[in-house]
């Protein structure tokens, strides 16, 4: 669906305003204009595209936001409310407020082991025929590359705070970060969303480049209820014997689509993606994963579980691709959902695309309601109906949470979601 003339004019006006107030190079401006032109050709994703067959972003934005403005004034800083910072966990920080980076703090780390590069050149390699990446490239105001040097394991986790407040409404916010983990380095990230704004569209792009033996652990938490629309795309490139672990808690926003593209380029590299949808009201969330096994002896594991109430909707699209050279691939994928209301909806689209013959790959999906016999049994042991229901739901979600390999962060997430064992 191409962009209508009125939005096309608004996009170009907002783009020109950003260019006037920036210090981009001539080459960067050309690349950004090209990205904007590509977005204008395609527009927001809709159901005609296979990757969006369950989630028409064009209509979602119209319904939840209406007309969008793409220009944000980044000239003035925002005051940081430190009360939003997580207590009880020493951590490094990157703080975004309304899309503007207000703080980068690696105080717990050795300064010579981390390099922060301001405004790296725009990476025009990854497009993937994704109009939202084009939109992000066109309108990202400032980006950083964070380099973790060889043989360094961060002492403390990094929490990236995504904060919005009531100063913005009907705005499109685009932000981008690039992470490079050199050989035998490791990084733990918590992506934490804290929204006090309404009716905005957040478009986030991360690129991760994992060299040999590098380890990335990335935890995404959207817990606080809000009326924003969000899209997050993570691209992960992995070399020999590298490992990535991603956990997603998808709960708070009106709409949120997390998309992960992982390229297992090196032997014995592995990727683990686990997630929980916990939705109520009419919230609509989606996770889409693409794991590309491109060489022999690689492994992936994916587990997504959903608990859906009221008229909420969850979607999981998961694809395992195995290249012809990727013998000895081990790929596993499973999604399960509990529907607490007849009006709730779960859609799953598991895919296997395999061009090698010596592989072990499987996928599965199942959905249903809570087992009333189990509820009756628990009530006969002295629990009331609500307690019995909560116990069964917690048991259903427990194995996803237990997949979190970092004990400190696992306990933090349990506390955040009020998990009761």
Number of compact structural domains in the chain: 2
- Compute the distance between CA of residue 296 and CA of residue 358 in angstroms, rounded to an integer: 10
Residue at 414 is within a domain: yes
Characterize the bridge pairing of strands 243-250 and 215-222: parallel
Residue at 419 is within a domain: yes
Domain that holds residue 420: 371-421
Residue at 345 is within a domain: no
Which of 210, 203, 200, 168 is CA-nearest to residue 76?
A: 168
Residue at 161 is within a domain: yes
pLDDT at residue number 141: 84
- Compute the distance between CA of residue 413 and CA of residue 239 in angstroms, rounded to an integer: 29
User: Is residue 379 domain-shared with residue 257, that is, in the same domain?
Assistant: no
pLDDT at residue number 20: 84
User: Is residue 246 domain-shared with residue 131, that is, in the same domain?
Assistant: yes
pLDDT at residue number 4: 61
pLDDT at residue number 228: 96
Residue at 78 is within a domain: yes
pLDDT at residue number 102: 93
pLDDT at residue number 325: 95
Show Cβ contacts of residue 327 under 8 Å, excluding neighbours closer than 6 positions: 296, 297, 356, 357, 358, 359
pLDDT at residue number 417: 81
Residue whose entry in the numeric block shows the structure tokens 């380099």: 147
User: Is residue 64 domain-shared with residue 201, that is, in the same domain?
Assistant: yes
Tokens at residue 381, please?
């042991």
Q: Is the dihedral of CA 225, 228, 231, 234 positive or negative?
A: negative
Residue at 107 is within a domain: yes
User: Is residue 251 domain-shared with residue 384, that is, in the same domain?
Assistant: no
User: Is residue 254 domain-shared with residue 382, that is, in the same domain?
Assistant: no
pLDDT at residue number 205: 95
Element (DSSP H or E) covering residue 20: helix 5-20
pLDDT at residue number 418: 78
Characterize the bridge pairing of strands 345-354 and 313-322: parallel
Residue at 354 is within a domain: no
Last residue of a domain, one of 239, 266, 293: 266
Element (DSSP H or E) covering residue 385: helix 385-401
Last residue of a domain, one of 266, 293, 319: 266
pLDDT tens for the chain, residues 1 to 421? 456 667 888 899 999 988 888 778 888 889 899 999 999 999 999 999 999 999 999 999 999 998 899 888 888 888 999 999 999 899 999 999 999 999 999 999 999 999 999 865 555 556 567 999 999 999 998 889 999 999 999 999 999 999 999 889 999 999 999 999 999 999 999 999 999 998 999 999 999 999 999 999 999 999 999 999 999 999 999 999 999 999 999 999 999 999 999 999 999 999 999 999 999 999 999 999 999 999 999 999 999 999 999 999 999 999 999 999 999 999 999 999 999 999 999 999 999 999 999 999 998 888 888 888 898 888 888 889 888 988 999 899 999 999 999 999 999 999 888 775 5
Which of 301, 303, 302, 297 is CA-nearest to residue 359?
A: 297
pTM: 0.94
What b/e readout covers 27-52, taking b as 16+ CB neighbours within 10 angstroms? ebeebbeebbebbbebbbbbeebebb
User: Is residue 255 domain-shared with residue 384, that is, in the same domain?
Assistant: no
- Compute the distance between CA of residue 364 and CA of residue 403 in angstroms, rounded to an integer: 18
Last residue of a domain, one of 213, 240, 266: 266
């Amino acid at each position: 669906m191409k962009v209508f003339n009125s939005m096309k004019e608004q996009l170009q006006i907002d783009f020109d305003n950003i260019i006037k107030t920036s210090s981009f190079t001539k080459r960067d401006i050309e690349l950004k204009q090209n990205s904007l032109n590509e977005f204008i050709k395609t527009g927001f994703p809709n159901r005609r595209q296979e990757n969006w067959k369950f989630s028409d972003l064009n209509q979602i934005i119209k319904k939840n936001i209406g007309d969008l403005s793409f220009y944000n004034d980044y000239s003035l800083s925002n005051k940081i409310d430190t009360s939003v910072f997580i207590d009880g966990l020493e951590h490094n920080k990157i703080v975004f407020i309304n899309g503007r980076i207000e703080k980068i703090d690696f105080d717990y780390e050795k300064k010579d082991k981390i390099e922060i590069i301001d405004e790296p050149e725009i990476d025009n390699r990854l497009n993937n025929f994704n109009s939202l990446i084009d939109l992000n490239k066109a309108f990202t105001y400032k980006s950083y590359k964070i380099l973790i040097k060889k043989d360094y394991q961060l002492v403390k986790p990094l929490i990236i705070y995504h904060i919005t407040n009531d100063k913005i409404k009907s705005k499109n916010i685009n932000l981008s970060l690039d992470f490079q983990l050199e050989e035998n380095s490791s990084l733990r990230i918590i992506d934490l969303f804290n929204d006090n704004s309404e009716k905005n569209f957040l478009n986030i792009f991360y690129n991760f480049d994992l060299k040999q033996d590098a380890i990335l652990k990335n935890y995404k938490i959207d817990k606080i209820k809000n009326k924003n629309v969000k899209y997050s795309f993570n691209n992960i490139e992995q070399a020999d014997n590298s490992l990535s672990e991603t956990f997603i808690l998808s709960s708070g926003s009106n709409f949120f689509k997390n998309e992960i593209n992982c390229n297992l380029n090196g032997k014995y590299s592995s990727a683990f993606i686990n997630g929980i949808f916990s939705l109520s009201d009419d919230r609509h969330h989606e996770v889409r994963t693409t794991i590309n096994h491109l060489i022999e002896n690689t492994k992936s594991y994916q587990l997504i579980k959903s608990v859906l109430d009221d008229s909420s909707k969850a979607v999981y699209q998961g694809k395992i691709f195995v290249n012809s050279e990727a013998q000895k691939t081990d790929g596993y994928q499973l999604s399960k959902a509990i529907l607490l209301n007849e009006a709730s909806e779960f859609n799953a689209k598991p895919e296997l695309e395999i061009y090698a013959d010596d592989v072990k790959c499987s996928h599965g999906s199942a959905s249903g309601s809570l087992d009333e016999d189990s509820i009756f049994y628990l009530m006969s042991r002295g629990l009331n109906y609500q307690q019995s229901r909560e116990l069964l739901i917690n048991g259903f979600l427990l194995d996803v949470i237990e997949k979190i390999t970092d004990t400190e962060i696992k306990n933090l997430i349990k506390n955040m979601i009020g998990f009761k064992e």
